Structure 1
Amino acid sequence: MNKILATGLVLALLATGASAQKPVKKAPKKAPASIKTLPAKAVAAGIPAELKQPIPFDPEVKVGKLANGLKYYIRKNTEPKNRAELRLVVNAGAILETDDQQGLAHFLEHMAFNGTKNFPKNEIISFLQSSGVRFGADLNASTGFDETIYQLPVPTDSAQLFEQAFQILEDWAHNVTLDPAEIDKERGVVLEEARSGRGAGQRMREKFFPLILNNSRYADRLPIGKDEIIKNFKPEALQRFYKDWYRPDLMAVVAVGDFDVAQVEGIIKEKFSRIPAVSNPKPRLQYAIPPHKDTKIAIVTDPEQPNTVVQIMYKRPEIKEKTLYDIREAIKRILFNSMIGNRINELTQQSDPPFLAGYSNYGSFLGDQDAFSSYVIAKDGDVNRAVTAILDENARVDQFGFTETELDRAKKQYQKAVDRAYRERDKTRSGSYVNEYVENFLHGDIPVGISFYNDFTKKYLDGITVGDVNNLAKQFITQENRAVVIMAPENRNAGSGQGKLPTEKQILALIDNAGKKLTAYVDKTLDKPLLSTLPVGNPVTSEKQIRDIDVTEWTLRNGVKVVLKPTDFKNDQIIFSASSPGGTSLYQDKDFESARFASTLTQMSGIGDYNQIQLGKYLTGKTVNVSPYIGETTEGISGSTTPDDLETALQLVYAYFTAPRQDTDVIKGFLSNQKSYLQSQLATPTPQKVFQDTVQSLLGAYNFRRLPLTPNRLDQVNVDRATAIYKERFADASDFTFFFVGNFKEKDLKPLIEKYLGGLPVTNRKETYRDLGIRTPAGKIERTVTKGIEPKSTVQLVFSGDFVWSSENATQIDALAEALEIKLTETLREEESGVYGVSVSGAYAKIPAQRYTFRIGFGCAPENVDKLIARTLAEIEKIKQNGADPKDIDKFKAETRRETEVQLKQNNFWLGYLSNQYFNNEDPTEILREAELLKQVTPESTKQAANQYFGKNFIKLLLQPERKQ
């Protein structure tokens, strides 16, 4: 059904963790050859005959079905090279569980990794890690209400490994062993995953779901299930679900990647034809959300909910896209969403915005329903003002419609997006195609090729009129199937005043009476050049080639340095950044808040004669994103664009240096909203917020600059001082280094660089950053935060100290972190069944001081904290005694090599890598030493690293629940 997913409150709450999220239904964006225009004649309902044609299926994908009913999709795609994305899709999820199986669809997904016929116990994970596939990041699965999806990205340059990947998919389909001993071990892991999702959102969801879902089966089948069932179910219940629903007529295999299609089809036929068809299968029922005439209103509060949030949903039957006319109708909805989104965004640019955040959007909802949803976070808890403001904008569209100029901009922006997708058609990553075919199998969404879709939009986009789009509001906004959810802090109903929650009757009146005494929207634009005066540039005066990595360095006469890496990784992308030493470190504490907000306030104000709203309208139809920043030790610019829009991007860069703007109303509104948000966080702090504030403060040695932002600190922002600081930081470009990566030719780029970067102002001042002396405290420290209702704990263990900067030492830290994470996942998760996941990160820095930090984190039951910490420290001690397990070292090396293979073909990697190397004054060809550096990682080297880095500086931080009285 190729629609935009309404990403908001309710849909966010439908997710019950990483493995319980409904697949996103994408907006139509791609589509075979050319459109055949049929003879024009009138057809039923006024639809031209040519638009009644069915949507053509993308001819680049091979689709087939085996005799047992299993469907397959195969497409050759070489981005990334030597890689494939594989999926096993099962058209069965939590909605099919019986009462005694609630949570077992998700549990079964876990068990697929805990032993199959050909891969006993955890050998699937171990085998793939040894092949360079990371568990969690790459190898993963998800369970939703209606589906279960297993994802497996694999290399294709090893025929044996590639075929084994399909063996894993086949084993998941019908050879999961479901060993009772493994089931019992996995109970704790699943319970810990459920524990991690507990909190205010979960508690409130349990109250409002039955109401807004009209007591449908969806309200009673959350994929995460019920704890009591997870603890006590008999293995037979899980085996029954597997037998009933994991069957070939409910499965699809999707394979997209750099391979031979015929070969892959042969593998699929060989392996998956072995799955026997099921005789007399259980009917795969489809469940609906019953319609209702009345308005369902749920007002729920919780002591740990910090903000007052309102969502109003107008539910309606799901729109299925089958014909070309349906595609055209879908484009109307995309344009509608774009235009109303822009209007609502403008409300936040006022000096006193009516809400902290908000949107109105048409998209998928759940089951067989779509919804037009409006969502607001109320400012200062004022529900009446927030709801009135968002509904008035909806009503303004209903009463007066959009303007021709708004529609023209929306069309230009959408056509630009389609054009870019078309230009990148041979650079599209396999994962994008995989998702389209998954949606086709599960929901019937028809994947169309970008060539067709590009032709289609060029032919039909211009013909969409303002009247066409304006008519949508009346279709979307009705009194039937309406639902309202208000989530607020528990103390919101205490007392009186604007923060007191309305009653159901008041809410209904507020909605029904919205849109009174409105006037039409006025589309204010500015017709001026972006730059009032064009710069006088400076030429390139020196050039250096770094041929080993295809990089060129230029130095301009004004001192600006430019580092260039032309690539062909993307056809329509150029990304860039710039940095200069200094940042907020150069300012005293009294100016710190003004300094750290300086770039934000400046960017929100626009540039030159253009405020932010006008600038956005001016840039319509262009792909340009430029942002200034001021960090602690640097200031700079980051941005992205296309070859066609590069000059506009450079004009923006020049303007941010030379024509910053101060928009008093926008700044006042932004600071007002920020203060309201911070006040709500202080009034009802979540347990995680309190804990993270404690962690941040302690690790920052309670330095003023590491303490959490508060309303009082926000009051220290002096707008004039912030503007002055911004101008100071960007007054001298002579010590800036710019980096450009992407599809450009140096000869084409050079005159633009000389004109705009060569024209930047310089004073040739000599400055660098200031080391503020902020260090993680030394010694052994323990800190426990007691906060929270739910029986859940969070553990963070931190090791830190001085570091001798070198690539060799950095590689040893990376290896140690990865090997320890692999081992702790095996022990804390698989052996102890005490955590859902554990993270280990090793970080190191050269500037402002050479330091390292190891952080180990996990969530668990309060009663298991001490045991799991002890086990963690015991595993660290083993590495200190014997070094890391050679098998884990091999996994780290395989993962690193495979990751680097892909990264070396990514523009983002090169931009980040080059900027870091130059910032640290390191050799930019260091990446070529990776093989040499990996050879130096051994059990002995990790033993030495563990003894060096897991030393006396140890901080133990715990979040524990409040004790029940």
Structure 2
Amino acid sequence: MLRSLRTALLASFAVLSLNPVLPVVAQTAPRQVQIADDPWLYKGSDLVHDAEWKFGRLSNGVRYAVRKNGVPPGQVAVRVRIDAGSLMEQESERGFAHLLEHLSFRGSVHVPDGDSKRIWQRLGVTFGSDSNASTTFTQTVYKLDLPMATPAGLDESMKILAGMMTGPIINATSLNAERPVVMAEGREQPGPQKRLQDQMLDLMFAGQLLSDREPIGTPETLTAATPASVQSFHDRWYRPERATVIISGDVDPAVLEAMVVKHFSAWKGVGPAPKSPDFGKPETGHPIAASLVEPALQPVAMMAIVRPWTVFSDTVIFNQKRMVDMVAIRIINRRLESRARSGGPFIAAGADLSDIARSANITTVQVLPSGDDWEGSLREVRGMIADAAATPPTQAEIDRELAEIGASMQQRINTAPVEAGAKLADDLVEAVDINETVTTPQASYDILKQAIAAKMFTPATVQTASKRVFEGTAVRALVNTRTPDPQAVTKVTAALQANVTGVGKRKAIGTVNINQLPKLGKPATVTSREPLLQGVDIEKVVLSNGVRLLMRPDASETGKVYVNVRFGRGLNAVPADRATPLWAGEPALMASGIGKLGQEELDALTGNRQIGLNFDISEDAFAFTGQTNKADLADQLRLFATKLAYPTWDPNPVLRAKAAMLSGYAGLSASPDGVLGRDLERLSRSGDQRFGLPTREVIGATTPESFRAFWEPLLATGPIEVEVFGDMEAEATVQAVAATFGALKPRAAAGVPAAPVVFPAHVAAPVVRTHTGKSDQAAAAIAWPTGGGTAEITESRRLDLLAAVFRDRLIDQLRSQAGVSYSPNVASQWPLGMTAGGKLIALGMVPPDKTDFFFKLSRDIAADLVAKPIDADELERAVAPLKQQILRASSGNMFWMRLVAGGSYDPAIVQGVQTLAQDYSRVTPADIQALAVKYLRPEKDWTMIVVPEKAEK
């Protein structure tokens, strides 16, 4: 962690009203909670136990697993898993598992309606991210990430969670309040995607419960739900023997165990324990093909080979055999990706092997054709799969996949000490759900090495696996087309049965070496080197060619080095009044090659190493980003520097990005959410062409030539700031940057002034856009102009608090009380890289007849915030989660790298680091009111709605 500054943050937040973290005193849990077959997770498995987990079982049947984990410091991640999902529902109960999840969070035996959210907010918990739940086909999982957990806070939280399991409030009042929220969640699902998913489940899992038990349920069963029927579902499935409590946190495991014992031991089941239903097995005798017509979705062909689910014991040999299968799948996918990149008949294609909802083991193949010729695309993909089954791969292909898998496993070993506790808890939940175990990263790697030593990965064994994973009980396929075709199902059936021998072709890639890159110039010298901030161990280094380096050696995130190369001026260098190929930068720029190496060769070069090649665009800079390690850092920097000096302009990535965007463009009109994503940012900036998605015409007019003409000068101009934070050595890093970015020629400054960002004028009636989706879907947005730039960083941070208060009120009134919207949101957007263009914006997905209600409610909330100060408790419930988010993030290097990005050129950014704690903590109700008075002015607001184009049939 960044010890000096993070320590200062902790001290500042503690002094400025944050509850201090108290020492947790270890307690001894009663040993009688353990029974003979513990640790229960590993029953029937010969995998190495992860000794960090402590397993137990209460006398009532509750299973638990606890472990010590200090990432991030002070946090405790709690997961309560109930072995009951939508597959446990009867036909009349569809959606009840998910409905019960909502009711449990709303109120329970220990807390009145709505109080759990407020209690947790005071403890620094962010609603929706730190406290949440999910319902799947097979489980319901309650999640709480409790930051800076005090003994009292942890005890209270465990009490609340236990009460949610044992005694949720299920009465007419709570049911009638939460039912509309659940139905709003279902209503807000995009129609075309929902219909595709329904058709896919019906076809691929025909004859099984999985085919018609989606967790969202149906409007009919949810409307018919009564307190008695929901209570009956709860009593049947919410039982101690179906519960697993998993806790990973910065607390003595004995204390965590004692908490489980204290709060879950008294739980008793109601009535006889039910048997889990038979989920069914894949069967023959059902239709093998289906089609649908969804013009809003990309044409797609999906194929599935289904087999019975067979994960009955998680053993070494099971994992090794599955590894052979996965190597076979990886080789096929690499060949498919190579064909797509080289101008094949499909934009993308890939296969996957997975176990689904304890119902089937399934191999899926998905093909996105370049145009509407799904038959030709599917034929070629099937041909390449058939070739893999007919002809063994080369040992070089196998070794490449094994090298990549091994490198990934080694990196996991290196970074295991800094694996987040929440991730470990989530991994264990998933293992329990699919009847598997968890083991250590080293043990996983040992399983792979043992399989390699036993010669399990030979051309013959991988060829056999290539056959095996495409054989099963049934083969089924589904296509989506843009226009109706009465013969579609017949064509799909024929495509599945067509002879594809000799159709697929392989492309071999030879050995690729880093020295095949063009040579860079003479290394630069260091002209200055100084601390960026007094007392903070971030250094600023200036090189003789003008390149600047911000560097922070920090080994707390073992094995991780983050690299961010900011260059040019980002959106400030792009014209605002005309369309450009800006949109194609992220999907095509890195893929277009470096020197003589195209994307295929770059994959071969980086695949078995820890090197990232990503591209990003911000207001004031373009950026190459990657996560690497100490050993690969120099080559990571060399690749990025060479990209600036010797970019290649392969046309295929541009053409592929263009085809992909055009193929999916109609889908942007198919839901209110899609229309907002396409148009809102541009409309709320007075038509500025730098924001939002381009029109179909702009995409269609983009050529490889226009792409190069736009991007080539942007790569060659403007300042460079290299940021390297993480587990590396300072002197070696300076030398590596000097030899790569320091070897570039001094860069020309971009002389064109940045185009100003203009917020639109107030409108008497909302701007209207339409969508082609469901007739019961609409969206509404209201925004107020704020500001931008680094000179007023403090103002931007306090606006985050105003937005948090606004958001909490909107959720309470629009969702919890009115039941009109499932996921309303309010956010403050303040672009630090521009001097204007910020806004505070409220969004809600609502029924079409509720848009006026949304605007009235939003304006009423705004007016109330202007009229009087909020109370101290409401402010604390906004401040505490934000402070905790900062404190947790501050344990990682990425947080600090983002915080100081651009700081070598802009002193205000550096100053903003020093004021971070006080900007959030030294805020009063009067300050929040002053911000509301300044910005939430009714004569300045701008509104937009997205309504249905016509009633959907």
In the TM superposition, residue 662 of structure 1 has moved relative to its aligned partner by: 2.1
CA distance in 2, matches of 1:705, 1:263: 54
Asked if 1 retains the 8 angstrom alpha-carbon contact of 2:284 and 2:473, the reply is: yes
2:180 aligns to what? 188
Matches within 5 A, 1:683-698: 686=671, 688-698=673-683
* Structure 1 stretch displaced more, 505-514 or 538-547: 505-514
In the TM superposition, residue 137 of structure 1 has moved relative to its aligned partner by: 1.1
Question: In the alignment, does 2:553 pair up with 1:553?
Answer: no
Equivalent in 523, 529, 551 of residue 537 of structure 1: 523
In the TM superposition, residue 456 of structure 1 has moved relative to its aligned partner by: 2.7
Question: In the alignment, does 2:915 pair up with 1:932?
Answer: no
In the TM superposition, residue 409 of structure 1 has moved relative to its aligned partner by: 0.8
Equivalent in 570, 573, 584 of residue 557 of structure 2: 570
Question: In the alignment, does 2:375 pair up with 1:384?
Answer: yes
- The superposition leaves residues 75-120 of structure 1 with CA deviations (integer Å, 9 ceiling, x where unpaired) of 1111111111101110011222223322111111111112112111
2:509 aligns to what? 524
In the TM superposition, residue 278 of structure 1 has moved relative to its aligned partner by: 5.0
2:385 aligns to what? 394
* Structure 1 stretch displaced more, 891-900 or 503-512: 503-512
* Structure 1 stretch displaced more, 900-909 or 448-457: 448-457
Question: In the alignment, does 2:454 pair up with 1:471?
Answer: no
2:423 aligns to what? 432
Code of the residue aligned with 2:723 in structure 1: it is F
In the TM superposition, residue 846 of structure 1 has moved relative to its aligned partner by: 4.4
Equivalent in 640, 646, 650 of residue 633 of structure 2: 646
Distance 1:762 1:630, change over 3 A: farther
Equivalent in 762, 775, 778 of residue 779 of structure 1: 762
Equivalent in 745, 751, 775 of residue 790 of structure 1: 775
In the TM superposition, residue 696 of structure 1 has moved relative to its aligned partner by: 3.8
SS at match of 2:564: strand
Distance 1:547 1:881, change over 3 A: same
Distance 1:173 1:919, change over 3 A: farther
1:713 aligns to what? 698
- The superposition leaves residues 462-483 of structure 1 with CA deviations (integer Å, 9 ceiling, x where unpaired) of 5322222211122122374112
Code of the residue aligned with 1:327 in structure 2: it is N
Question: In the alignment, does 2:873 pair up with 1:881?
Answer: no
Code of the residue aligned with 1:473 in structure 2: it is S
Structure 1: tracts of 5 or more residues without a match = 1-51, 494-499
1:852 aligns to what? 838
- The superposition leaves residues 667-717 of structure 1 with CA deviations (integer Å, 9 ceiling, x where unpaired) of 444444544544x559x7555444544434422323444474234323543
Equivalent in 204, 228, 231 of residue 236 of structure 1: 228
In the TM superposition, residue 220 of structure 1 has moved relative to its aligned partner by: 2.8
SS at match of 1:461: helix
CA distance in 1, matches of 2:649, 2:288: 45
Q: TM-score, normalised by structure 1?
A: 0.89
2:580 aligns to what? 593
CA distance in 1, matches of 2:211, 2:504: 41
In the TM superposition, residue 375 of structure 1 has moved relative to its aligned partner by: 0.3
Matches within 5 A, 1:144-183: 144-183=136-175
Question: In the alignment, does 2:120 pair up with 1:121?
Answer: no
Distance 1:129 1:630, change over 3 A: closer
Distance 1:96 1:636, change over 3 A: closer
SS at match of 2:716: coil
Distance 1:728 1:756, change over 3 A: same
CA distance in 2, matches of 1:600, 1:834: 37
Asked if 1 retains the 8 angstrom alpha-carbon contact of 2:821 and 2:845, the reply is: yes
Equivalent in 117, 125, 134 of residue 142 of structure 1: 134
CA distance in 1, matches of 2:574, 2:947: 38
In the TM superposition, residue 509 of structure 1 has moved relative to its aligned partner by: 1.9
In the TM superposition, residue 801 of structure 1 has moved relative to its aligned partner by: 4.4
In the TM superposition, residue 235 of structure 1 has moved relative to its aligned partner by: 0.7
* Structure 1 stretch displaced more, 408-417 or 229-238: 229-238
In the TM superposition, residue 299 of structure 1 has moved relative to its aligned partner by: 0.9
* Structure 1 stretch displaced more, 179-188 or 715-724: 715-724
2:400 aligns to what? 409
CA distance in 1, matches of 2:942, 2:923: 27
Code of the residue aligned with 2:697 in structure 1: it is N
CA distance in 2, matches of 1:670, 1:811: 37
In the TM superposition, residue 958 of structure 1 has moved relative to its aligned partner by: 1.1
Distance 1:858 1:383, change over 3 A: same
Asked if 1 retains the 8 angstrom alpha-carbon contact of 2:578 and 2:689, the reply is: no
1:450 aligns to what? 441
Q: How many residues align?
A: 900
In the TM superposition, residue 651 of structure 1 has moved relative to its aligned partner by: 1.5
Distance 1:126 1:738, change over 3 A: same
What CA RMSD, in Å, does the superposition of the two structures yield over aligned residues?
Answer: 2.6
CA distance in 2, matches of 1:713, 1:388: 32
* Structure 1 stretch displaced more, 405-414 or 851-860: 851-860
Distance 1:575 1:112, change over 3 A: same
1:699 aligns to what? 684
In the TM superposition, residue 598 of structure 1 has moved relative to its aligned partner by: 5.8
Equivalent in 215, 228, 232 of residue 207 of structure 2: 215
- The superposition leaves residues 402-459 of structure 1 with CA deviations (integer Å, 9 ceiling, x where unpaired) of 2211111101100001101111121111122212322343332111122322333233
* Structure 1 stretch displaced more, 929-938 or 135-144: 929-938
Matches within 5 A, 1:546-945: 546-583=533-570, 585-586=572-573, 593-594=580-581, 597=584, 601-628=588-615, 633-678=620-665, 686=671, 688-706=673-691, 708-720=693-705, 722-731=707-716, 735-763=719-747, 765-767=748-750, 770-781=753-764, 782-787=766-771, 788-802=773-787, 805-918=791-904, 920-924=906-910, 926-945=912-931
Code of the residue aligned with 2:648 in structure 1: it is R
In the TM superposition, residue 949 of structure 1 has moved relative to its aligned partner by: 0.9
Code of the residue aligned with 2:111 in structure 1: it is F
- The superposition leaves residues 37-61 of structure 1 with CA deviations (integer Å, 9 ceiling, x where unpaired) of xxxxxxxxxxxxxxx9822332221
In the TM superposition, residue 527 of structure 1 has moved relative to its aligned partner by: 4.6
2:23 aligns to what? none
CA distance in 2, matches of 1:89, 1:326: 25
In the TM superposition, residue 167 of structure 1 has moved relative to its aligned partner by: 0.7
Code of the residue aligned with 1:829 in structure 2: it is R
CA distance in 2, matches of 1:575, 1:82: 24
Equivalent in 316, 327, 330 of residue 319 of structure 2: 327
Code of the residue aligned with 2:580 in structure 1: it is E
Asked if 2 retains the 8 angstrom alpha-carbon contact of 1:579 and 1:637, the reply is: yes
Asked if 2 retains the 8 angstrom alpha-carbon contact of 1:536 and 1:755, the reply is: yes
Code of the residue aligned with 1:383 in structure 2: it is W
Equivalent in 467, 477, 483 of residue 484 of structure 1: 477
Distance 1:91 1:639, change over 3 A: same
Code of the residue aligned with 2:345 in structure 1: it is P
- The superposition leaves residues 198-250 of structure 1 with CA deviations (integer Å, 9 ceiling, x where unpaired) of 51122344445333321322223221112122223221001111111111011
Q: TM-score, normalised by structure 2?
A: 0.90
- The superposition leaves residues 810-849 of structure 1 with CA deviations (integer Å, 9 ceiling, x where unpaired) of 1221110001111111111122222212100011124432
Asked if 2 retains the 8 angstrom alpha-carbon contact of 1:192 and 1:835, the reply is: yes
Equivalent in 262, 284, 298 of residue 292 of structure 1: 284
Distance 1:519 1:541, change over 3 A: same
Question: In the alignment, does 2:322 pair up with 1:317?
Answer: no
SS at match of 1:640: strand
Code of the residue aligned with 1:774 in structure 2: it is V
CA distance in 2, matches of 1:512, 1:947: 69
In the TM superposition, residue 624 of structure 1 has moved relative to its aligned partner by: 0.6
CA distance in 2, matches of 1:869, 1:818: 18
CA distance in 2, matches of 1:713, 1:132: 46
Percentage of identical aligned residues:
18
Distance 1:825 1:292, change over 3 A: same
CA distance in 1, matches of 2:641, 2:570: 19
Structure 2: tracts of 5 or more residues without a match = 1-43
Asked if 1 retains the 8 angstrom alpha-carbon contact of 2:540 and 2:904, the reply is: no
Code of the residue aligned with 2:150 in structure 1: it is S
1:28 aligns to what? none
In the TM superposition, residue 727 of structure 1 has moved relative to its aligned partner by: 3.8
Distance 1:168 1:391, change over 3 A: same
In the TM superposition, residue 164 of structure 1 has moved relative to its aligned partner by: 1.2
Code of the residue aligned with 1:576 in structure 2: it is V
